[in-house]
Structure 1
Amino acid sequence: MRKGQKAVRIIAGAAKGRALKAVPGTNTRPTTDKVKEAIFSIIGPYFDGGIALDLFAGTGGLGLEAWSRGAEKVIFVDKDKISVDIIRHNVQAAGAESDVEIYRNDADRALKALAKRGISFSLVFLDPPYRMTDMNEWMSELAGKGMLEPDATIMVEHDASVAYSDSIPGFHQVRSAKYGDTAVTIYRYIEGTMEETNRSESDVNE
């Protein structure tokens, strides 16, 4: 945890108040309680089932918050061993062991493996290192692989200096907001529009 950074915790739901361990160093920034509260006030404070994906999971804080608020299962992916160890610790602290899967893997490889299993998500958290500014491409990949449920919600956390488009094919931007040097952009997947876009592009190229 960075010097001066506040401890993070699960702020609502079944595991409310459970403290979450942070990844040492400055490469991983846990989402603050303030930003988490803002995120869940936008996407919905509680859930009635569904599977969530925390793709660049870091501490696992976002996925665990979703689980605490009613997501039936969460899949965590991170390629860093220390992060995965922290996620396992936090999952145990929250009491969520029976409802999660944790993978130490490159995000692209993980998506390919999950797609082969036919898993689809109703909620996706994309909180990568801030140097990565191509989350629109990852969203398109998730849709293209059939990994998103109708009306799935996708949350992108990014540097406030980066602006994501409100016109990504197949997605509707619900809201974008800044919280200091952090920004959150939230999308809703519109089932069928991705296929229609690809079909139109194919017709033009013929």
Structure 2
Amino acid sequence: MRIIGGDFKGTVLYGPGKGYGIRPTSDKAREALFGIIGSRIEGASFVDLYGGTGAVGFEAFSRGASYVTVVEAGRIDLIRKNAVKLKIPASGQLQVIKNDVFKALKVMKKRGDMFDFIFADPPWHEGHEAETIKNAAGILTADGTFILEAYYKTKPPETPETVSGQKPGLRLRQSRRYGDTVLHFYEF
């Protein structure tokens, strides 16, 4: 597992060993994801939900995101080790939150946090996709993109008509498959 592009291109990240229960986003899927996002990542705010090793968030940072938050309920030692390896300063540019995704989203919404990109890779076969989209929509900027990574046989979740009765709901704009993985891109 390595950083695909940007300032840290080629850096090999610490990966999960046995017992972590983490399924990292493949290099191929990450490369495709950031190829689709393109230069819009530069200067953007990015949140990696269900962060695992933090690889997707670190890829965003490497490619020019100005602020990255990684949320992981489980062991965050890999995220911290990878941040140290990449020499990412413990400044306000990187935030690691050890918490349940839904609790973290509630706190971020209450604080008024907003993100240009939200990436979510919930555990496959647990059915958290629709709930994650619904809860994360409240912290996505009006011109932002929500990206859901899922098992390719998982049907893309339906999205609500409106978010908090204020703005139109998220709409599925495109889906791309990479092996067993599919990336769904949602926008307002």
TM-score range, shorter chain: 0.7 to 0.9
Instruction: State the shift of 1:116 in Å.
Output: 2.0
Does the aligned pair in 1 maintain the 2:46–2:116 contact within 8 Å? yes
Does the aligned pair in 1 maintain the 2:130–2:158 contact within 8 Å? no
Matches within 5 A, 1:73-84: 73-81=67-75, 84=76
Instruction: State the shift of 1:137 in Å.
Output: 2.5
Matches within 5 A, 1:28-107: 28-45=22-39, 47-81=41-75, 84-97=76-89, 98=91, 99-107=93-101
Q: Which has the larger radius of gyration?
A: 1
Instruction: Give RMSD over aligned pairs.
Output: 1.7
Misfit runs of 4+, over 3 Å = 165-169
The count of residues paired between Structure 1 and Structure 2 equals 178
How far apart in 2 are the matches of 1:46 and 1:10?
A: 18
Paired-residue identity, %: 37
Aligned equivalent of 2:7: 14
Aligned equivalent of 1:161: 153
What's the secondary structure of 2:59's corresponding residue? helix
Instruction: State the shift of 1:111 in Å.
Output: 1.1
What's the secondary structure of 1:44's corresponding residue? helix
Instruction: State the shift of 1:71 in Å.
Output: 0.7
Moved more, 18-27 or 117-126: 18-27
Task: Write out per-residue CA displacement over residues 170-190 of structure 1, whole angstroms, 9 at most, x where no aligned residue.
Answer: 1232221222211111112x2
| Paired AA for residue 5 in structure 2 | A
Give the TM-score, by structure 1 length. 0.80
Does the aligned pair in 1 maintain the 2:130–2:159 contact within 8 Å? no
Matches within 5 A, 1:122-201: 122-143=116-137, 146-165=138-157, 169=161, 170-188=169-187, 190=188
Task: Write out per-residue CA displacement over residues 152-200 of structure 1, whole angstroms, 9 at most, x where no aligned residue.
Answer: 1111111111120476531232221222211111112x2xxxxxxxxxx
Give the TM-score, by structure 2 length. 0.87
How far apart in 2 are the matches of 1:109 and 1:166?
A: 22
Higher helix share: 1
How far apart in 2 are the matches of 1:13 and 1:53?
A: 18
| Paired AA for residue 103 in structure 2 | R
Task: Write out per-residue CA displacement over residues 34-81 of structure 1, whole angstroms, 9 at most, x where no aligned residue.
Answer: 111111112225522121111100010111111111111111111112
Instruction: State the shift of 1:129 in Å.
Output: 0.8
Could you list the runs of 5+ residues in structure 2 that have no partner in the other structure? 162-168
Does the aligned pair in 2 maintain the 1:27–1:129 contact within 8 Å? no
C-alpha spacing 1:45/1:9, structure 2 compared with 1 (3 Å): farther
Instruction: State the shift of 1:95 in Å.
Output: 2.1
Instruction: State the shift of 1:136 in Å.
Output: 2.5
